[in-house]
Amino acid sequence: MGETNKRTMTHRLLIFHTDAKIYEEILRRRIPNLDIRAASRPEEAEPFITEAEILLSWKIPDALLRKAQRLRWFASMAAGNEHLVKNPALPPHVLFTKATVYGEMMAEYVFAYLLYFCRDLYKYFKDQRERIWEPIRPGRLRGKTMGILGLGSVGRVIAQRGKQFGMKILGVKRVPEPMAEVDEVFGPESLDQVIPRVDYLVCALPLTPQTEHLLGEKELDLMKEGALLFNIGRGRTIDEKALIHLLKRKRIKAILDVFEEEPLSAESELWGLENVIITPHVSGINLPEEICDEFVRNYERWVRGDPLMNRVDREKGY
């Protein structure tokens, strides 16, 4: 996309992030007439926060956010913003958008581990170390059934990739409606019709009062013997104690990227379970170039007075 170079009044953007300088460098090239300040610590943001019209950030201290008296648009770098949707420090009149760039990356994460297990790569890694030549018949993703909880910008891309692999896709959405990428769409009240049918269950849900512990003991016990469970959304959408109990019975395997408390405590029983893969919330890392691409497209709409893309619905929570 070309540079945005409007000959209009200068708007003021504050970037608050540990990598703020990287974002600043990209956006200065892309939007040269935008007044940009970058801060990675509250004391760096203090001199500019009261004048900022736009904030590009995610986690920002409430005390700092309350000082943004001229703020008109909060552009979040994250897909999940449960800490902000009901936060009184972010007034209702401020436009609030989220990032939707994570679908491709998170789909890659899911299918990396699906193929790892389906094609028995763990066995061949072990065989290589032990100098064993023992081919076995591989599994296939084609013909398998995947359930996806949450059909937003992430879940839809995972569904698309699943269809490309020849899989049957069942989806769960707050308000069920037909979707091109999904064979059957259900509401949350129909989990008992979805979970027993799937070989792979991917939880890509935002955290809201309705999704907290959506998967508890009752729901987890519905999973097929040998099924794979992914959690790439928010840790508290799954009851971790109930999950540990199920995993100890070795009925399923789990690939967990998010947890009820992060960082995951060194005392957590999850670390010691052989049928669990743990990653440190890396399935969807924000890449500055991609975040900035999306921001620039929305900024161009903002200066034209057009509706912004990817608005956060504060009532729904995402």
Residues 6+ apart with CB under 8 A from 299: 4, 31, 34, 54
Catalytic residue (choose from 281, 290, 297, 300): 281
Tokens coding 245:
């109990």
Tokens coding 283:
């399935």
Would you put residue 309 in left (φ > 0), alpha (ψ -120 to 50) or beta?
Answer: beta
* Whether 281 is catalytic: yes
Determine the distance from the C-alpha atom of residue 57 to the mean position of all C-alpha atoms in its chain, rounded to a whole number.
16
| CB of 14 closer than 8 Å to CB of 45 | yes
* Whether 251 is catalytic: no
DSSP string, 130-198: HT-----PPP-STT-EEEEE--SHHHHHHHHHHHHTT-EEEEE-SS----TT-SEEE-GGGHHHHGGG-
CA separation for the pair 96, 311 (Å, rounded): 6
| CB of 171 closer than 8 Å to CB of 147 | yes
* Whether 217 is catalytic: no
Catalytic residue (choose from 3, 261, 262, 289): 262
Q: How far is CA 170 from CA 123, 185, 197, 198, in A?
A: 29, 6, 9, 8
Residues 6+ apart with CB under 8 A from 25: none
Q: How far is CA 186 from CA 159, 178, 220, 221, in A?
A: 14, 9, 17, 19
Which residues make beta-bridge pairs with 230?
202, 255
Catalytic residue (choose from 234, 236, 240, 260): 234
Residues forming the active site? 234, 262, 281
